[in-house]
Amino acid sequence: MKLLRLGQPGAEKPAVLVGNDTYIDVSDAVHDFDEAFFASGRIAELASIAAGREPKPIGDTRIGSPIARPHQILCIGLNYRDHAAETGQEVPEEPILFTKSPNTIQGPNDDVLVPRKSVKMDWEVELGVVIGKRCSYLADEAEALDAIAGYTVVNDLSEREWQIERKGQWSKGKSAPTFNPAGPWLVTPDELTDVLALDMFLDVGDTRRQTGSTSTMVFSPAFIVHYLSQFLTLEPGDLINTGTPPGVGMGLKPPVFLHGGEVLTLGIAGLGVQRQRVVG
Ligand code: ZN
């Protein structure tokens, strides 16, 4: 099943995707795809709620983030062997964790803004993991897999000067307004044959900048969810950005950063495509 939210920012309605470009509104049965929804376990009821209803075309309707603003966005750094190499850093022995402000989340095709005084805005296509139930001290990776509601595409936008040169925790360069486009859909795990074999790409204009696969992840989604639950409590509807494959702007020689007027197109096989105009 593919879940999406349609409508203007702050007024999105929950829906189920049918085919590639039609949807069934489920807003009369479900308030939103938020913490309460995932905690209720009602995701299993969506198929029967949608059954027998007539799909409508998405057309020009705005697509929001497939989940309401989460309780937290957690991010894993340097989680692809080939990306660690391009940044000149070692593959980590344990996941590198940093946080991103939850109010950065927005729709997959909304404009992204160059922050004030930013000079090194960069892109990162990533597999996003959405948590389906409260997780604390999970026993093993099987329990972790059971706690994953689904997967989505994320652009973990970054300001490299603020993240790295200005020192301290990475969050400072990750939390500017509009910095976490998510979607277009939340795809439930049963729709994916193998989450560790998904092709990923990101284009800036007509130039392919990132080409990768979840097969080169260092730590799998199940490992990450189990691991994080040993340190903190994951809440239903939380989002985890699981790291980016090679080809980010700061890794190019010379480095390349984003500017107003450019267009980003990014996607993951089976999870859909995002398209953002850079404004600033
Ligand atoms: Zn990232």
Query: What pLDDT sits at residue 83?
Result: 85
Tell me the CA–centroid distance for residue 200 and ligand 1, in Å.
14
Residue with tokens 């999970």: 138
Residue 88 confidence (pLDDT) above 90: no
Measured between alpha carbons, how far is 89 from 83 in angstroms, rounded to an integer? 9
What residues does CATH 3.90.850.10 cover in the chain? 73-279
Query: What pLDDT sits at residue 108?
Result: 98
Q: How confident is the model at residue 3 (pLDDT cuts 50, 70, 90)?
A: very high
Query: What pLDDT sits at residue 76?
Result: 97
Tell me the CA–centroid distance for residue 74 and ligand 1, in Å.
10
Averaged pLDDT, 32-44: 96
Q: How confident is the model at residue 233 (pLDDT cuts 50, 70, 90)?
A: very high
Residue-wise pLDDT tens digits, 89-104: 889 999 999 999 999 9
What superfamily in CATH does domain 73-279 come from? Fumarylacetoacetase-like, C-terminal domain (3.90.850.10)
Residue 22 confidence (pLDDT) above 90: yes
Residue 87 confidence (pLDDT) above 90: no
Alpha helices (H) along the chain? 35-40, 46-50, 81-86, 141-146, 160, 221-229
Averaged pLDDT, 228-254: 96
Residue-wise pLDDT tens digits, 111-134: 999 999 999 999 999 999 999 999
Tell me the CA–centroid distance for residue 156 and ligand 1, in Å.
5
Residue 220 confidence (pLDDT) above 90: yes
Tell me the CA–centroid distance for residue 249 and ligand 1, in Å.
13
Query: What pLDDT sits at residue 185?
Result: 98
Averaged pLDDT, 248-272: 97
Please give the torsion angle defined by the CA atoms of residues 124, 224, 32 and 19, in that order, rounded to the nearest 10 degrees: 70
CA angle 244, 210, 126 (to 5 degrees): 30
Q: Higher confidence at residue 44 or residue 184?
A: 184
Query: What pLDDT sits at residue 82?
Result: 87
Query: What pLDDT sits at residue 59?
Result: 97
Mean pLDDT of the chain, nearest integer: 96
| R_g (Cα) of the chain, nearest Å | 18
DSSP string of 57-81?
A: E-TTPPB--SSPSPS-EEEEES-BH
Residue-wise pLDDT tens digits, 72-84: 999 999 999 988 8
Tell me the CA–centroid distance for residue 98 and ligand 1, in Å.
9
Query: What pLDDT sits at residue 208?
Result: 98
Query: What pLDDT sits at residue 197?
Result: 98
Residue 8 confidence (pLDDT) above 90: yes
Tell me the CA–centroid distance for residue 165 and ligand 1, in Å.
17
Tell me the CA–centroid distance for residue 56 and ligand 1, in Å.
35
Burial class (CB in 10 A: 0-12, 13-18, 19+), 227: middle
Estimate to the nearest angstrom the gap between the alpha carbon of 136 and the chain centroid: 22
